[in-house]
Amino acid sequence: MPIQRLLAKVDADPASGEVLWRVRADDGSLDVTYGDPKRPFFIASATKLFVTAILAQLRTEGRLDWDTPLADLTPDLDLAGVLAAGASVRAVMAHTSGLADYFEGKRPDGTTTFERAVQQDFSWDLADVIRWTGSMSPGTPGKGLYSDTGYQLLGAAIERIDGRTFGDAVAARITEPLGMQSTYCFGPQTLDRYDEISPMKYGDRDLRIPLAMASVQADGGIVSTLDDGLVFLDAFFSGRLFPAALLTEIQQNWHRIFYPLEYGTGIMRFRLPAVMTGFRRVPPFVGHSGASGTVMFRSPDRRVTVVGTVNQLKKRSMPYKLLVRTSG
C-alpha cells in the first residue's frame, strides 16, 4: 500500500488521533510528508534526546563528567531513599540506576501519575516527583528500569550547571542555533499556547491536559513539528550538536528496557526479531519514541529518518507499526 494511502487510512481510524508524519531517505529516493509539516505536536519522551544532546555538550565543554554521581550535581535536592548512593549521570541516562518511575510506576495506593492525569488534569513540580518516587519500590541498580524521574533530575542538573531553565537551555543550545523556530519546551509560561498544539487522544476520548504537559518538562515536555524534528535528528546524528565520538559511545551498551525496545545512554533502539516480521529483515531504528504516539527515529542501515505522531496515548503499538511500514 502506498505510504500516503496507508497514513490516510490510519488518520481516518477513530482509534487514532491526528496523524502527522514525515519519512525521508538521505538519497532522496523516499520523501513523504503527511499532514502540515509546521503543525506543532507534543513529542513526549522523545524530549529525552534533547536532554542527551545538552548533557553531551556540557561534557564536551568540560563542565560535566557522566560518571559523576548525579546527586553531587544537585546538592540542594534531598535524594536520600530516592536515588541509590553513587548513581552516576550515565546510569540515570541509561535507566540503569534503579530509580523508580514517578509517571507510570505504582504508588503505595496503586495509582500512577499517568492514570491520574488522563482522568483529571493536574500539575506537579520536582518536589512532588521526588516525594512520589521515594514512596515507590526501587529497581535493581544495573538493570533496566525506565524512569521519567531520572530525566526530571537530569533536567534539574542541567539547570544548575547551565544557569538557566531547561527550556531556556534547549532554546540557547539547540533550537536557536539550528533555526528550529517552532520548537520549545511547554511549561506554565506557555499554557495559553496549548490549543495551538495538535490534540491528543486517550482511546476514543479527546485528551486535554495542559497542566500535566506543563509539568513533565525534561522528561517529555517539548513541542515540535515535522520540519523541526527532521532538522534536530539530522543535527543529532551528524555531529553538529556534539562530537560524533559521543554518538558512538551512547550506542555501545544496549540493554532491554521493555520489549522490543532497548536503551543505550540517553537513546532508544527499536528492533524487531525476524519471527515478528515474517522473517523479513527489518533493520533497527535509533532515536526515541513518546507515549503520545510520537516517533523520532533514524535507520542507519537504510539511511532513512522518520518523524511522526499518531497523537494516541492508549494504543502504543500503533506508531511502531507505522514506523516499520513507512520506512521503505
Predicted TM-score of the model (pTM)? 0.96
pLDDT tens, 248-267? Answer: 999 999 999 988 899 999 99
Number of domains forming the structure of the chain: 1
Average pLDDT over residues 290-301: 97
Average pLDDT over residues 148-159: 99
Question: How far apart are alpha carbons 53 and 126 in whole angstroms?
Answer: 22
Is it the case that residue 277 has pLDDT exceeding 60? no
Q: Are 233 and 286 in contact (CB under 8 A)?
A: no
Distance of CA 286 to the CA centre of its chain: 12
pLDDT tens, 194-204? Answer: 999 999 999 99
pLDDT tens, 109-150? Answer: 999 999 999 999 999 999 999 999 999 999 999 999 999 999
pLDDT of residue 49: 99
Is it the case that residue 279 has pLDDT exceeding 60? no
Question: How far apart are alpha carbons 136 and 188 in whole angstroms?
Answer: 27
pLDDT of residue 280: 63
pLDDT of residue 302: 93
Which secondary structure element, helix H or strand E, spans residue 245, and what is its range? helix 244-250
Domain limits for position 122: 3-326
pLDDT: is 279 or 28 the higher one?
A: 28
List, in order, residues 6 or more apart from 72 with CB less than 8 Å away: none
Q: What percent of the chain has pLDDT over 70?
A: 97
Question: How far apart are alpha carbons 77 and 74 in whole angstroms?
Answer: 6
- CATH code of the domain in which 13 resides: 3.40.710.10
